[in-house]
Amino acid sequence: MKIIAIANQKGGVGKTTTSINLSVCLAELGKRVLLIDLDPQANATSGLGVELPDDDEDASFSLYHPLIGDVPALDKVMPTRIENLSIIPSEMNLAGTEIELARTDNHLTRLQEVLAPLREADQFDYCFLDTPPSLGVLMTTSLAASDEVLIPLQCEWFGLEGLAKIVGVIEQIRDSGANPNTGVEGIVMTMFDSRTNLARQVTDEVRAHFEEQVYNTVIPRSIRLGESPSFGLPIIEHDPRGPGANAYRSLAKEFLARHTTTSDPSTEEHSATDAAADGA
């Protein structure tokens, strides 16, 4: 299982939208995906239409108790109505971990330890961490737990400032020894408006500095993308033939092209299936 943090400390850049829709589109392609909502605002949870049981007021469904050491993360995994996609939802109690984890010596590596049994269980191909829009403990422990970081970047000049900051934090995490192998896997340009010169200028500027790390797929500015969370639907259900759905399906395929190797068992299985079909 590969763990990918979807992170940007700047809010309103399409981070949760990307977390939801990339996860759903990869699940649509047959990958086993776990989405972990680590933002106490729980937007990824509600954006997928996940409704938590309310028959037990003392029940907790988030990573709060695993993070403070009470229960294993595996106990918090919930299936969704979308095939191949599971979630560990968020609740407001997750905000308490910012204080409680800050008091511990291992706050930077705590999530890494919590997710280790999930990685060993090998139930998922990819685990996405939807991180909060801040540089608090939940963000930094997410970066330290991830194999790589995917950065959604809004096509505006202020986005460039935020990009420099998040890249700097990732470098600090790596240099601290908490996770020397993590790094920026890719940058996804979001809220792209082809009618403006600004969007093109920002995209060109990012490509000039980060080259291959920038995805070819850009996510357009779209009313349908913006309203789909209010219906609790991913974009491929809310507007399946629209530009937003097309973009995230394209992003999922580009993501897989970057991550698929000849040693990937699922790749070998698909290749064998394709060969059998061609022979038939």
User: What's the pLDDT band for 56 if we cut at 50, 70, 90?
Assistant: low
Q: State the Cα–Cα distance between residues 224 and 201, nearest whole angstrom.
A: 25
Torsion from C-alpha of 221, 223, 224, 226, nearest 10 degrees: 80
* pLDDT score at 58: 63
* pLDDT score at 12: 85
Q: Assess contact for 163 and 40: CB atoms under 8 A.
A: no
Using the predicted structure, report yes or no on whether residue 263 has a pLDDT greater than 50: no
* pLDDT score at 55: 60
User: What's the pLDDT band for 199 if we cut at 50, 70, 90?
Assistant: confident
Q: Under 8 Å CB-to-CB from 237, ≥6 apart: which residues?
A: 228
Using the predicted structure, report yes or no on whether residue 269 has a pLDDT greater than 60: no
User: What's the pLDDT band for 57 if we cut at 50, 70, 90?
Assistant: low
- Structure tokens belonging to residue 61: 């469904």
Looking at the DSSP assignment, which residues form a beta bridge with residue 179?
A: none
Structural domains in the chain, sorted by start: 2-279 (3.40.50.300)
Residue from 165, 159, 248, 242 nearest 203 by CA:
159
Using the predicted structure, report yes or no on whether residue 231 has a pLDDT greater than 90: yes
- Mean of pLDDT over the chain: 88
pLDDT tens string 83-106 = 999 999 999 989 888 888 888 888
Q: State the Cα–Cα distance between residues 8 and 39, nearest whole angstrom.
A: 12
- Structure tokens belonging to residue 22: 């990339």
* pLDDT score at 261: 56
